Amino acid sequence: MSDWNGLTAPDAAEMEAMARAALQALPPEFAGHAADVAIRVAEFAPEEVLDELQIDDPFELTGLYDGIPVTEKSVLDQPGGPDIVWLYRRPLLDEWASRGDVTLGELVGHVVTHELAHHFGWSDDDIATIDRWWE
């Protein structure tokens, strides 16, 4: 039996390190464009984001791509900042604990990859045709 005394959940920096490891594992044809995307970790999505996405339970959103997909970018676009993959720490930890069948690193890596697919212009439906992770 494990002794859980003194153990803590991974903090934002540790979760960001997991995300960066997932970026390092990308195939070369995606790595270049992915290098332009910032990774940010927050405890939960902001209320305005949840409202915009019509999500009532903040634990339902584990990650979000915030940017203009490379398939839609124009030289006329004036960037206000980098494209960002947001990871929401508490919902990720909650999903990881409830699943019980993947490591936290695998889950973080999957969410990062899913959000990067949006950076490359894929819709959720496009992603679902090749990715059965959530079934």
Q: Which one has a higher pLDDT value, 78 or 97?
A: 97
Q: Is residue 117 part of a domain?
A: yes
Q: Is residue 93 part of a domain?
A: yes
Note down the domain range covering 96. 12-69+82-130
Q: In what order do the strands lie in the sheet with 63-66?
A: 37-42, 83-88, 63-66
Summarize the confidence of residues 95-104 as an average pLDDT. 91
What's the total number of domains in the chain? 1
Structural domain contains residue 5: no
Mean pLDDT, the chain, rounded, equals 85
Residue 21 lies in a domain: yes
Q: What's the confidence (pLDDT) of residue 122?
A: 74
- For the domain that residue 103 is a member of, what is the CATH number? 3.30.2010.20
Quote the CA–CA distance of 38 and 51 in Å, as a whole number: 23
